[in-house]
Amino acid sequence: MKWLLITSIGLYLFGSFRRPFLAGGLLAGLSYLAVRGVELGRLPLVGPHDTLVFLAVSIGLMALPFLFSPALENSGTFSWGAGFMAAFFTLLALPLPSFSMPLPPILRTLWFELHVALAFFAYALFGIGAILGGMFLAKGERMLLDLLYRAALVGYTFFSASMVSGGIWGYYAWGTYWLWTPKELWTSILWLFYSFWLHVRLRGGGGDKVLAWCGIAGFAVALFTYLGVSILMKSSHSF
């Protein structure tokens, strides 16, 4: 079944400067997730393999509405950037073993699925924000910064909702809506970072380039929160 992932990588890497190929890569990734989901009887959201594929698919999915904005309608750069990012995370997932055991009872709740899915939609939008930030630094078109704002604001909304659903899940699962572990701390740092970004933009006068660089830095913080903390630190969300 991994041929679906290889197909999506190929479509993303070699064709995603055209929208149909990006959509094709997304469809292949989605099909892989759907087959995994049917096999497992749940959303495939546990372990590095499934979450990396879910992130890659989320990037493709979240990139779609941006492709139809007037500023990016004829831009192969954005389309390929999103495709490259999705291909990169799919490539990372490819050699990793998938978690196919029955879920521990504590993870079998809608709050968990909502928490994880919303977090990855947010990470994907932060990634798209980083691409737009990079494009703004290269081209200097003001519209790109406006799109970065939209990506950051919607991503922030998803991420806040993910924190809320995580808190509700934690309360029902562990008896507390908050734990002082590295994952929770970095989740708060990421949330504060985008709160900071949105307030810097509100204040104005910070410089467009600063906002663009912060958009890129935000995705780095998101990646550390997702991968860095899970791999390097002992935490409640370790892989």
Partner 1 sequence: MIARLYTSLASLTFGLWLMGGVMALMAAGSFMGERAAALNEMPLFAWLGEAPLAASWWLWGTLCLLALMVVNTILCSIEAIRIRYGKSGPMALLAPQLMHLGFLLIVLAHLLSARGGAKQAMQLFEGSDLRFPGGSSVVVEAIDATMGPRGMPVDFGARVRTVDGGSEARTTVRPNEPLFHRGVGIYVKHVELFPVRTAYVEVHREPGAGWALAGALLFTAGNVLVLSQRRERRTP
Binding residues for partner 1, rule: CB under 8 A, are 101-102, 104-106, 108-109, 111, 150, 153-154, 156-157, 160-161, 163-164, 167-169, 171-182, 185-186, 188-189, 192-193, 195-196, 199-200, 202-203, 229, 233-234
Whole-number minimum distance, CB 187 to partner 1, in Å? 10
Nearer to partner 1, 92 or 164 (CB): 164
- Minimum distance from CB of 34 to partner 1 (Å)? 24
Nearest to 124, CA basis, from 155, 170, 89, 169: 155
Least CB distance to partner 1 at residue 188 (A) = 6
CB-wise, 92 or 185, nearer to partner 1? 185
State the nearest-atom distance from the C-beta of 189 to partner 1, in Å: 5
Q: Which is nearer to partner 1, 84 or 177 (CB)?
A: 177
In the complex, least distance from residue 200 CB atom to partner 1, rounded to whole angstroms: 6
Shorter beta-carbon distance to partner 1: residue 94 or 200: 200
Q: Closer to partner 1 by CB, 6 or 179: give it.
A: 179
The DSSP-derived string for 143-167 is: HHHHHHHHHHHHHHHHHHHHHHHHH
- Among candidates 218, 235, 49, which has minimal Cα distance to 124? 218
Look up residue 94 and give its DSSP letter: T
181/172 Cα distance (integer angstroms): 18
Which one, 27 or 161, has the nearer CB to partner 1?
A: 161
In angstroms, give the least distance from the CB of 218 to partner 1: 12
